[in-house]
């Protein structure tokens, strides 16, 4: 092949390379790639998902100012806050893009599937509760697969509705934001950095603060008793100590097992155990509590409406 022919071929190859790397072919490839990345036009502009507010059951009015109801809000999971036998609690952030003042962190309680729950614990708590259909009552009593599903749903709904009633009564409980099929969102008790308030069992308050904390507890338990209720599983493990110093206050959590003291044949036993668990903790910390007297006062309050 002559030198002229070699030069012509090299020029042709250079022209082709130029067309692929920087010419019309390259432009076509870049525009095709740019188009291909737009795979989910319905995804939110930020966060993991759009707000789950729409379609959920909502907490009582008037709602606290921090509750974000905008359908344009987005959400993101920030991690697991607490694991438990019945449910795991996650931190969930909800915010409105472009609005710095519309940003909140909530606690998301995700109940375990019916097949993974500790149903042997449910029997005593569920006595005295009723559902409308006898078939459902039988399924719950015999713990069929359908019955376990009903119990799991009732467990979540009971906690959500109970928190709503108690919050409206002014009792120290988290505000229930919403309930969906698999999660309850509620007020996060902690600081702005996502640190949860400690459980009472983890704390050692100054002895001078104990009388005030006990009076807060007693007032809450008496109000519950006057409504005919006992927490049913009250202990220093499900009481939070929020705030610091003189602003310290108790917040009571974990309400799915709330008990009708009169309607449940084991109601007085649950009430007595609640009083003993909490009274013993205060006594060990240096503020002596007569748990028998406390239980007597609570029981008198619970039966006074009959």
Per-position DSSP letters for the chain, written without gaps between them = --HHHHHHHHHHHHHHHHHHHTSHHHHHHHHHHHHHT---TTS-SSSSEE-S-TTSEEPPSSPPTT----TT-EEEEEEEEEE-SSEEEEEEEEE-TT-TTSEEEEEEEEEPPGGGS-GGGHHHHHTT---S-HHHHHHHHHT-HHHHHHHHHHHHHHHHHHHHHHHHTT-S---EEEE-SS-EEEE--B-TTSPBPPBGGG----GGGHHHHHHHHHHHHHHHHHTTEE-SS-STTSEEEES-GGG-EEEE---TT-EETTTSTTHHHHHHHHHHHHHHHHHHHT----HHHHHHHHHHHHHTT-
pLDDT value for 67: 98
Task: Tell me the per-residue pLDDT of 112-141, one tens digit each, with 9 for 90 and over.
Answer: 765 544 444 555 555 554 444 455 445 445
Contacts of 137 (CB under 8 A, 6+ apart): 130, 131
The answer, yes or no, to whether residue 213 has pLDDT greater than 60, is yes
Fold that domain 50-196 belongs to in CATH: Phosphorylase Kinase; domain 1 (3.30.200)
Return the percentage of the chain with pLDDT > 90, whole number: 64
Task: Report residue 131 CA to chain centroid gap.
Answer: 25
Domain with CATH 1.10.510.10 in the chain: 197-306
**Which regions of the chain carry the CATH code 3.30.200.20?**
50-196
**CATH class entry, domain 197-306:** mainly alpha
Residue-wise pLDDT for 158-189, tens only, equals: 999 999 999 999 999 999 999 998 799 999 99
């Amino acid at each position: 092949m002559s030198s002229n022919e070699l030069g012509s071929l090299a020029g042709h190859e250079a022209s082709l390379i130029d067309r692929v790397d920087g010419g019309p072919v390259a432009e076509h490839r870049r525009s095709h790639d740019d188009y291909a990345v737009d795979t989910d036009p319905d995804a939110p502009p930020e966060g993991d998902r759009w707000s789950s507010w729409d379609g959920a059951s909502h907490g009582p009015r008037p709602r606290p100012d921090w509750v974000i109801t905008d359908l344009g809000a987005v959400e993101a999971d920030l991690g697991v806050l607490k694991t438990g036998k019945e449910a795991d609690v996650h931190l969930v952030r909800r915010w409105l893009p472009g609005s710095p003042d519309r940003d909140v962190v909530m606690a998301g309680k995700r109940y375990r599937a019916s097949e993974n729950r500790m149903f042997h614990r449910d029997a005593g708590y569920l006595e005295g509760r009723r559902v409308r259909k006898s078939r459902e009552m039988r399924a719950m009593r015999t713990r069929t697969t359908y019955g376990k599903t009903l119990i799991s749903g009732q467990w979540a709904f009971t906690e959500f509705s109970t928190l709503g009633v108690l919050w409206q009564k002014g009792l120290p409980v988290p505000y229930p934001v919403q309930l969906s099929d698999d999660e309850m969102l509620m007020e996060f008790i902690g600081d702005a950095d996502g640190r949860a308030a400690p459980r009472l069992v983890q704390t050692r308050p100054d002895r001078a603060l104990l009388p005030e904390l006990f009076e807060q507890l007693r007032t809450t338990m008496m109000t519950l008793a006057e409504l005919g209720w006992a927490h049913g599983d009250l202990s220093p493990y499900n009481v939070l100590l929020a705030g610091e110093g003189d602003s310290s206050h108790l917040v009571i959590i974990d309400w799915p097992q709330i008990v009708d003291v009169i309607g449940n044949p084991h109601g007085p036993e649950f009430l007595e155990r609640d009083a003993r668990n909490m009274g013993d903790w205060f006594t060990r910390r240096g503020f002596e509590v007569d748990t028998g007297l406390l239980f007597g006062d609570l029981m008198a309050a619970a039966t006074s409406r009959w």
